Structure 1
Amino acid sequence: MKTVSDFVLERLTQWGVKRVYGYPGDGINGLIGAFGRTEAPLEFIQARHEESAAFMACAHAKFTGQVGVCLATSGPGAIHLLNGLYDAKLDHQPVVALVGQQARSALGGDYQQEVDLISLFKDVAHDFVHMAASAEQARHMIDRALRIAMERRGVTCVIFPNDVQDLPAVESPPREHGMVPTGIGLTSHAGVPGEAALRNAADILNRGERVAMLVGAGALEAGPEVCQAAELLGAGVAKALLGKAAVPDGLPYVTGCIGLLGTQPSWDMMNECDTLLMVGTSFPYSEFLPREGQARAVQIDRDGRKLSLRYPVEVGLVGDSRLTLQALIPMLERKTARRWRERIEKQVARWRRTVRERAMVEARPLNPQRAFLELSQRLPAQCIVTCDSGSAANWYARDVDLREGMMASLSGGLATMGCGVPYALAAKLAYPDRPVVALVGDGAMQMLGINELITIAHRWKDWADPRLIVMVLNNGDLNLVTWEQRVMGGDPRFADSQWLPEFSYADYGRLLGLEGMRVDRPDDVGPAWDRAWAADRPVVLEMVTDPEMPPLPPHIPAKQVGAYVRALRKEDAAAGGAALRATIKQWWAG
């Protein structure tokens, strides 16, 4: 007898889903049993924790463009999914969560692991969250969850009570009142605004003398078009962090990332431009954009709700970034005056020298920027880079140059810790023939990363290319928060909250059968990356870095400078003096 669970897996396969990330539990025994029976090309990926499973589903969506699917049991399993699902929601990724529930007869009876799941998921999956109460609902709930996740680029959720999972399947609902027959057919979108709107946008851009572009995750598939528009407009191109892979970092007019983790050329360009073209971005920090009234603005986004959200725009174009730029480019006039572009390119060249000089500043024992700079020079072709939240994201944003054909991501809107290693694992499962590197701080590594190393150790022998490097910044400090305490609040490092337990990440990697390397000498950083990329198995690369190396933003208000000085005065002489000396060296190198 084919059950509802069998039908659900079959339907997922018909939608093109190839893997489901999750963790078993009695609330989903029916679905797990169906995995054991299915002959469909659908793989169950067992994570070490449901939160990791949701991160993997989010990363799968980011790197493949397909819907990510995660699975969890009732009660605690469902609750554990939430952080990874919010990561998907805030980064606008299509993810479907399949969640178990107690039997229908028990609901409302204060039963063990009974949680009001519809209420629990109502925010994160607000576009579609429903519980199947009959076999007839399974088809339209799976169809709608997948379609709505794709259309809204968000999270949806279907809840299956465990007794419903084992009901006889109803593949085609009867042609009766109250039945909802749905389908899998493809959806076609126009994707391009009308000609009048495009001409209005082109008029603004053609009149501008100092044009700046800001691109985000929505421009990841529009890199050639972004470059073509920038060449015509004589513009510089800044990138929101999720859009780092949209255009190569090595182009002379690409100013790099923007914001607290951004570059000096991006800050200068935004403060000096008279025209702004934003493509596929809802970058959150308006203080890093032009002053209101300084620049005329055009924005392209597939979601009209994002228009004029961070900066007032005169023309908002709702459409696919690539198709819209393709329609707009023939209307753009090539600017003959190139002084603005030349100025940007000089600033970028100067900044690139600064980045290198800062990375080579002495530290105790390693300057973390050195680890990222040396990696940048050694990234293999077609590499996929993942990064965790924390100070690692600062160095990733500024010191790693992505080239054409590479992919990269991290948690943008949620900026959650713990995603770096699950992201890398999902990338490797989706592209087993591509090299992958995860850039992770020791706080995030202790939070989730060391657990998913177990999954990597279990699966790596199945990969066509075994290269997966997990680089850990071991500074013993929850470093970004330490700097935020100093700069934002004027408070010294609070040892009880900030210092981490000692842990040998390289030794742990070797214990699992992976390669483990520990580096604590500057001259060994580059050779260690060479050995890691040449290894015949995944590598845990432990870089012992200096926690007092400051992640300097491109602009520091006087208020924050004062708070920083007050904080250092309150710290013990050794720590405060080390941080101050490191800061001075970084400023001097800049």
Structure 2
Amino acid sequence: MGERLVADLIVERLQAWGVQRIFGYSGDGINTVLGALRRSGTPRFVQARHEENAAFMAVGHAKYTGEVGVVLSTQGPGAVHLLNGLYDAKLDSVPVVAIIGQQSRTVLGSAYMQEVDLLNLTRDVASSFRQQVNSPEQLPLVLDRAFKAALADRAPAVVIIPHDIQQAPAPELEQEHGVLTTAPVWSPPTLVPAPADLERAAALINDGGKVALLVGQGARGARGQVRELAEKIGAGITTSLMGKPYVDESHPLAAGVMGHLGTSASGFVLGECDTLVIIGSNDPWTEFYPPPGAARAVQIDIDAAAIGNRYPVEAAVTGDAAATLEALLPLLEPRPESAWRTSVEEAVQRWHRLAAERAATPARPVNPELAVRELSDRLPSNAQVAVDVGSIVYWYARQLRLPEGVPAHLSSTLASMGCSIPYGLAAKLADPARPVVALTGDGAMQMAGLSELITVSRLWPRWTDPRFVVLVLHNNELAEVTWEQREMEGDPRFDQSQALPDFSFARYAELLGLQGILVDDPAKIGAAWNAALDADRPVLIEVLADPDVPLLPPFPAGEEKGGTMMDALRKEGRDTQHARDLLETYLRQEEGLNRGL
């Protein structure tokens, strides 16, 4: 081996931080680092088809493992491509470190080829930490601070390394003025809530007659405590989209996901409660919270700055969710039986009947709700789930029941299409012995999924468990936006923006050496899931789904929006009778259940 370079020091520092894989795409701005990775053999470099997808993989790695996700990119266009994934990390609060190459320092400021002002480019997305390395001696401390900032702030950090720095000899740091020697170590703090805050929160909850819980991803380690809390005081349990995997949705008090894509039971619980306990959630669907003043609120969060951001809170409790609930539970008066508890359980039962009825509603040719619902009883207990953005999120939120311990992730707050296959790849690479199920629509699949399916075809023969199942709802439509146009704008469907090119996803999978299954009949869905989950290779299930199944928000919002949707359908210059019939059916189903029929 020749002279030890700064690039070798980069790799050594990544090893010291326990990084096992780096996602990225090559380019001349990082060739020296790639050479060091080749010489070392670890961390493993995972080549994506596009830098944006590599960034999504790093975010997915962070979400599924809790570790720092690392992405490597060249300068210029490569760096620009990272932004979508880095914003995904920022808005969903996960730790990611982006290492970005840059032109040599001698040409910066000359409008050189691929020269982009990377510090300004990443100013917002990496507000927790971004730094260009300007000397070899600076490299260790910058990488260490980037990892610590990403972990402490649960946010993306950016390290920019000019090419000439990568090629410089690795320094031997000595104790001297102007040189810092840092350590690649980090230990998470344990935040214990103040006793006075706990007492204030307990008094407020004890005063409440109709308590609702809103559970977010901050409760990921408090599943048991949330259940105990709900049972002790008879509280209805609602979740944010990111909180869905951390609640037992089979529990009789579990009302499901809140918000526009949520359940009728969550709408009832949040609409009727007089006390709201927010646990580790920052959900932005504020119009689905109780009206301000209608409920008194407690918020528990590890981030003190997040408390009161979404709802006027009277009692703020800063601390880890599990530890806080353990300390809070003894202060609460037990209410094992109450009229409110009975009302919540009845609302949950009504929702379960409504979900089943809607999935069974005939469609042309297949109801997408049924395609997702049929997975619930078949999903392996050790699976990992990746969900894309679009109408598939509604059906995931409403129809898929996750077994305890099965993680499910998506680009929730940024809501960026195309995340599911990169996320699923990150999950699979982190634990190749666990099956992965990715749920997506044809729009997201055409945007990014098809290219990363090539990556799946390249990597799967190395996996201990080869199962990587992709469900594609194929309706030739950007269905969520179409229904948003009708609901939010009162506008008819705009064909030039909404229609998608027809594409045979199952045949494409077969071309890649994977298995493709086409489902054009609802009677075939169960068998397709069985075959895919028993297969000896990745499988793509292409379901010919009906785009006219309405994305109706839960009542009472759904009742208000139904008329706007119907008016927009009447304006469309095509036959919309089928869509109007489905919308009327969905409205009638919910109205009937709300009347107790």
1:558 and 1:526 map into 2 onto residues whose CA distance is 32
Secondary structure, counterpart of 1:404 in structure 2: coil
Q: Deviations along 1:172-207, whole A, 9 cap, x unmatched?
A: x22122112211233242311111211111111122
Deviation at 1:572, TM superposition (A): 2.9
RMSD of aligned C-alpha atoms? 1.2
TM-score, normalised to structure 2, is 0.97
Partner of 1:438: 438
1:462 and 1:156 map into 2 onto residues whose CA distance is 31
Partner of 1:326: 326
Q: Deviations along 1:223-249, whole A, 9 cap, x unmatched?
A: 111111111111111010011101121
Q: Is the 8 A contact 2:432 2:465 kept in 1?
A: yes
Secondary structure, counterpart of 2:136 in structure 1: coil
Secondary structure, counterpart of 1:133 in structure 2: coil
Q: Deviations along 1:391-437, whole A, 9 cap, x unmatched?
A: 00000000000121111011111011010111111111111111110
Q: Is the 8 A contact 1:383 1:434 kept in 2?
A: yes
Partner of 2:17: 15
1:207 and 1:394 map into 2 onto residues whose CA distance is 35
1:338 and 1:415 map into 2 onto residues whose CA distance is 39
Partner of 1:29: 31
Partner of 1:167: 168
1:457 and 1:582 map into 2 onto residues whose CA distance is 38
Identity of aligned residues (%): 50
The answer on 1:355 being equivalent to 2:355 is yes
Partner amino acid, structure 2, of 1:21? F
Partner of 2:51: 50
Moved more, 553-562 or 577-586: 553-562
Deviation at 1:337, TM superposition (A): 3.6
Q: Is the 8 A contact 1:57 1:426 kept in 2?
A: yes
Q: Is the 8 A contact 2:381 2:406 kept in 1?
A: yes
2:563 and 2:332 map into 1 onto residues whose CA distance is 46
Deviation at 1:170, TM superposition (A): 1.9
Unaligned runs of 5+ in 1: none
Q: 1:435 to 1:170 in 2, by over 3 A?
A: same
1:369 and 1:383 map into 2 onto residues whose CA distance is 20
Q: Deviations along 1:77-113, whole A, 9 cap, x unmatched?
A: 0000000110010000000000000011010111000
Partner amino acid, structure 2, of 1:13? Q
TM-score, normalised to structure 1, is 0.98
Q: Deviations along 1:102-145, whole A, 9 cap, x unmatched?
A: 01101011100000000000100011111111100110010000
2:418 and 2:302 map into 1 onto residues whose CA distance is 29
Deviation at 1:557, TM superposition (A): 6.5
The answer on 1:284 being equivalent to 2:318 is no
Any residues of structure 2 matched to 1:228-239 within 5 Å, and which?
228-239=228-239
Deviation at 1:359, TM superposition (A): 0.5
Partner amino acid, structure 2, of 1:130? Q
The answer on 1:392 being equivalent to 2:427 is no
Moved more, 133-142 or 317-326: 317-326
Deviation at 1:53, TM superposition (A): 0.6
2:295 and 2:305 map into 1 onto residues whose CA distance is 21
Partner of 1:426: 426
2:143 and 2:574 map into 1 onto residues whose CA distance is 61
Deviation at 1:562, TM superposition (A): 4.0
Q: Is the 8 A contact 2:562 2:583 kept in 1?
A: no
Q: Is the 8 A contact 2:552 2:562 kept in 1?
A: no
Partner of 2:197: 197
Partner amino acid, structure 1, of 2:520? D
Deviation at 1:573, TM superposition (A): 4.1
Partner amino acid, structure 2, of 1:105? T
Partner of 1:369: 369
Partner of 1:571: 572
Secondary structure, counterpart of 2:308 in structure 1: coil
Deviation at 1:454, TM superposition (A): 0.5
TM superposition outliers: structure 1 runs of 4+ over 4 Å: none
Unaligned runs of 5+ in 2: 591-597
Secondary structure, counterpart of 1:241 in structure 2: coil
Partner amino acid, structure 1, of 2:213? M
Partner of 2:595: none
Deviation at 1:336, TM superposition (A): 4.3
1:558 and 1:589 map into 2 onto residues whose CA distance is 11
Q: Deviations along 1:374-395, whole A, 9 cap, x unmatched?
A: 0112111121111111000000
Partner amino acid, structure 1, of 2:22? V
Secondary structure, counterpart of 2:158 in structure 1: strand
Q: Is the 8 A contact 1:192 1:327 kept in 2?
A: no
The answer on 1:142 being equivalent to 2:143 is yes
